[in-house]
Structures are given as structure tokens and as C-alpha cells.
Amino acid sequence: MLSRLRELRREEETLLRVKAALHDQLRRLRTLGQMDNEAAINQTQLHLSLQGDKEEEEEEESDS
């Protein structure tokens, strides 16, 4: 009976370590996901900025 209790406590400790590791990994993945979203937003802003600059150049050329 005592040995079974010790075994269960070791299993519990192992499961708690696995839970903590999975939680940490999930937190890191969420951070990476946010960084990917920020990169996509920055790329969109850059694209729109470049597109606006191109349109301004075309207007200046047509005015000349």
C-alpha cells in the first residue's frame, strides 16, 4: 500500500511537470503567433505605403 502511494505521488509529480512544460510551450507559441500577426500587419502597411507613393508619382507624371 505504501509503495503504491509513492508510485502515485511520482506519477503526479511527472504529470505536473508535463503540464508545466506544455503550458510554457503554448505560451511561447501564442507569442510567436502574435509576432507573425504583427509582421503581416507591418507588411500590409508597407505595401499600402509603397502603393500610395506609386500613385503619387503617376499623378505627378500625368500633370507634367
Put simply, whether the predicted model's pTM sits higher than 0.85 gets the answer no
pLDDT digits (tens, 9 = 90+) for 5-58: 999 999 999 999 999 999 999 988 888 777 777 777 777 777 777 777 767 777
Question: What number is the average pLDDT over the span 54-64?
Answer: 70
Compute the 3-state secondary structure of the chain and give helix, strand, coil in percent, each to the nearest 5.
95, 0, 5
Is pLDDT above 90 for 4?
Answer: yes
What was the pLDDT predicted at 64?
59
At 2 the three-state DSSP class reads: helix
